[in-house]
Structure 1
Amino acid sequence: MNIIPKITPIYQTSVFKFEDLDAVQQYFDEPGSRYLYSRNGNPNSDELADAVNRWEGGAGAVATGSGMAAIFAALMTYCQAGDHVLCAADIYGGSAALLNQELARLGVSVSYVPFEELYNLRPYVQASTKLLLCETMSNPLLRVVDLRAMATECHQHNLKLVIDNTFATPVLTKPLAYGADLVLHSVTKYLAGHSDVTAGAVVARTAEDAARLRQIGTVFGLTLSPMESWLSVRGMKTMRLRVAAHSHNAQQVAEFLEVHPTVEAVYYPGLLTHPQHVLAATQGHGLFSGMLSFRLPDDVAVVNRFMQRSQRFPFAPSLAGVDSSCSHPLYTSHRALTEEQQAALGITVGLIRLSVGIEPVEELLADLAHALA
């Protein structure tokens, strides 16, 4: 019986069998012809990598065990001991922790570039500088980077541009098309989309970098498991529809919060008042993501009351699931930053980040009205 499944089965195996020595030799002589060991490659993790690669328009990709593993793989593609890295000051706290603590211990130094100075890197570039790491939309203040200008500035200084595209997703923006060299994702978030997977992915613009990524993934053991890979691929099949729904709901939530008397500020690129609204509209093809942040008074009691009263935005320190949630950057995602970094970015007690889900938007608005009353 010839069985041809429509959906790729889950290859829940750590190792694959060979008929004889000739078959083993074929594995090494013809890369990609068959599988040996799931750390080196598995049909499910390869399927996910190929899916993300197609979305981003790259030359190859690797699936990793988490978004942090993706960031690590991306940085290791270009860096070794003695090198220097530039990083946007507006960055996910986990990225900063990796750079400040672990890569510094391995001899890779970092300098942080304020958002306003990203397009003039000359004062920050050293002889050993290899790359700039930044986000399409920054976490948590949703500042939007001009990717084409950023790529031009980096390449003028012979730097690689590494973009974390987690907030935007390739539904909104494909950074490789604007000149980025590597694009990474926490697949955990919008790509998988259902808060039931921990995964990451990195996509390369060149075949050479793609091969280096695969080597790093294998040697460091960053490979994603078959089950997580299968779930991620399943989630990606609805990504286009989900991201559009997330963005539609977030736009209405942002407009509601912008005029609420208790709210001091709202950070969402879809608002006309956002400093990079026009850029975001162009790069995002009219969609602005499901992520936003807003500011309440810097009073723990006020923030706690909001969290306790809200039923549709539970305090769950992650993002991008189909169900809405809220997070607190100062207490969770950005607590590893120094107090000086937090103050410079405006990450205070009153700053709350919302991940707007795909529920009926009128229910979300009613919940926010109740929580803020």
Structure 2
Amino acid sequence: MSDETRPRVKPTLMRPGGMIPEASAPVVTPLMPSVVYASETPDALDDQYEGRARGYTYAREGHPNAEVLARRIDALEGIEGGLVTASGMAAVTAALMGICRAGDHVVGGDQLYGRSLRLMREDLPRLGIETTLADQTDAEAIAAALRPETRMVLIEVVSNPTLRIADMAGIAALCAERGVLLVIDNTFTTPAAVKAVEHGADIVIHSVTKLLAGHSDVTLGWVAAKDPELKTAITNFAVTTGLTPSPFDCWLAERGLLTFGLRFERAQANARALADHLARQTGLKQVLYPTRDDHPDRARAQAVLRGQGGHMVTFELEGGRAAANAFAKGASDLAFAPTLGDVGTTLSHPASSSHRALTPEARAAIGISEGTFRVSVGLEETEALLAAIDKGLAAARDAG
């Protein structure tokens, strides 16, 4: 075929030159789904990898939407260099497995999120990383669990789902004294209530899926370390194992994050009203909310949360599983779903969802019964929320 008869390829189909130079910039972060990024020369690529120039190479190693989101969460937590991951558990895994090695020991709070508990109980030990669970409300219990080979302590400021408050001052002092890393999963509390680094955290974790993004339409995590070497270790593990976040999820999460402060305040106000309302009802064994005078860790909650109670309420029905089934059916205006942090209120039954892997005895030991419900309070009109809850309570009482 001669040059004259060869089909001509239009230059517009060539990959380079996809971005159009502009004199203005978008107010909203663009969605950038590109998997690969072109560099001018091998020397230019070296400059990027060796830190002399900024740029992206391959999305598994980072992309613009993830970086924009990470910087926004960094600002909320008061720490630099956070990494967005594909899920909250990806962030937990990157922190634990990026830093620990066979022969190390990890102490975890005994009321961690259910999958974190499974990671501690089953997955880390089979890889040669020993683990111990201890009561995070008691620094002496954590101290008793430490060993010479302990590498880190992993806790949540407020436990899931019993809303117990960790002995933050005692645990932070203990970790500093022993040279043990303190890792805080701040998902439940959020930086609106607690800045984890102010309480001694060396590493901070979030499930961005929850209240930070806030709309139940993304699955993401975030992890940050104060020490640059730890950050590098976590990042290398995440990149190597492909814990890569979706650009679209990052874009949606950034959009949600812009209203985080407003959503937190509204949800917290509803949660306080709900807790007080529940405490006046019959058919309940207990109601847990950090700012109430009857909370078992009331004094510590005041010191750690500084007047914030958060958006979570936990209560226990009389009547066990039968009452639980009736309540979930009766409160049909609210979603019965194993999540938290949505704009709408969601009901979770830990015994059948987040903590179902535990035996009934193990659940009872940490205060979870068949009648326990965790409420992630949303943004509804308060009276409508209370009315929906009352329907469920009436159904539960009828079932008894």
Q: Kindly provide the amino acid, as one letter, of the partner of residue 248 in structure 1.
A: A
Q: In the alignment, is the contact (CA less than 8 A) between 2:211 and 2:341 conserved in 1? A: yes
Change (3 A) 1:27 1:116: closer
Q: How do 1:149-298 residues align onto structure 2 when only pairs under 5 Å count?
A: 149-298=170-319
> Residue 306 of structure 1: CA displacement?
0.7
Match of 1:109 among 106, 130, 139: 130
Q: Is the 8 A contact 1:56 1:203 kept in 2?
A: no
RMSD after superposition: 1.5
Contact 1:244 1:287 (8 Å CA) reproduced: no
Change (3 A) 1:30 1:70: same
Contact 1:163 1:175 in 2 (8 A): yes
**Structure 1 residue 20, shift from structure 2 partner:** 2.4
**Counterparts of 2:181 and 2:207, CA distance in 1:** 20
Give how far 1:124 is off.
Answer: 1.4
Q: Retained in 1: the 8 A contact 2:135–2:141?
A: no
Q: Which residue of 2 aligns with 1:333?
A: 354
Aligned to 2:376, which of 346, 349, 355?
355
Q: Which of the numbers 59, 72, 92 marks the counterpart of 2:80?
A: 59
Structure 1 unaligned spans of 5+: none
Change (3 A) 1:132 1:29: closer
CA distance in 2: counterparts of 1:341 and 1:87, whole angstroms: 15
Change over 3 Å in CA distance of 1:241–1:308 after alignment to 2: same
- The aligned counterpart of 2:32 is 11
SS of 2:353's equivalent? Answer: coil
Which of 27-36 and 157-166 deviates more? Answer: 27-36
> Among residues 7, 23, 37, which one is paired with 1:2 in the alignment?
23
Report the equivalent of 2:95.
74
Q: State the SS of the aligned residue for 1:90.
A: coil
SS of the counterpart of 1:265? Answer: strand
Picking from 116, 131, 134, the partner of 2:152 is 131
Q: Distance in 1 between matches of 2:378 and 2:299?
A: 24
Which sits farther off after the overlay, 92-101 or 122-131?
122-131
Q: Secondary structure of the residue that 1:264 maps to in structure 2?
A: strand
- The two structures have a TM-score, normalised by structure 2, of 0.90
Q: Which letter does structure 2 place at the counterpart of 1:147?
A: M
- TM-score with structure 1 setting the length: 0.96
What SS class does the counterpart of residue 170 from structure 1 fall into?
coil
Amino acid at match of 2:257: M
Q: Residue 32 of structure 1: CA displacement?
A: 5.9
Is the contact made by 1:313 and 1:326 (CA closer than 8 Å) also made in structure 2? yes
What secondary structure sits across from 2:192 in the alignment? helix
Point out the more displaced range, 277-286 or 30-39. Answer: 277-286
One-letter code aligned to 2:169? R
1:266-300 Cα shifts (integer Å, max 9, x gaps): 11102111122233233323221111110012432
- Distance between the aligned counterparts of 1:5 and 1:203, measured in 2? 28
2:226 maps to a residue whose letter is R
Give the aligned partner of residue 385 of structure 2.
364
Task: List per-residue Cα deviations over 1:75-98 (Å, max 9, x = no partner).
Answer: 124311111110111111110111
Report what 2:47 is aligned to. 26
Residue 171 of structure 1 aligns to a residue whose secondary structure is coil
CA deviations on 1:207-239 (whole Å, 9 max, x unpaired) are 232222222221121121111111111111111
Structure of higher CA gyration radius: 2
Residue 365 of structure 1 aligns to a residue whose secondary structure is helix
Identify the range of structure 1 (172-181 vs 100-109) with the bigger mean alpha-carbon deviation.
100-109
Q: Which amino acid aligns with 1:54?
A: A
Asked if the contact 2:137–2:165 (Cα under 8 Å) also holds between the matched residues in 1, the reply is no
Amino acid of the structure 2 residue aligned with 1:114? D
What does 1:137-148 align with in structure 2 at a 5 Å threshold? Answer: 137-148=158-169
Of residues 342, 345, 348, the one that matches 2:366 is: 345
- The 1:32–1:177 alpha-carbon spacing in structure 2 relative to 1, beyond 3 Å, is farther
Q: 1:212 to 1:193 in 2, by over 3 A?
A: same
8 Å CA contact 2:287, 2:316 repeated in 1? yes
Identity of aligned residues (%): 39
* Counterpart amino acid of residue 371 in structure 2: G
How far apart, in 1, do the equivalents of 2:73 and 2:168 lie?
A: 19
Cα deviation 1:24-75 (Å, max 9, x = unaligned): 2222232661110000010110111111111111132110000110110111
Deviation of the 1:116 alpha carbon = 4.7
Pairing 1:307–2:303 present? no
SS at match of 1:69: helix
Residue identity opposite 2:134 in structure 1: V
Q: C-alpha deviations, 1:111-165, integer Å up to 9, x for none?
A: 1112453345332111211111110110000011132322101222221111111
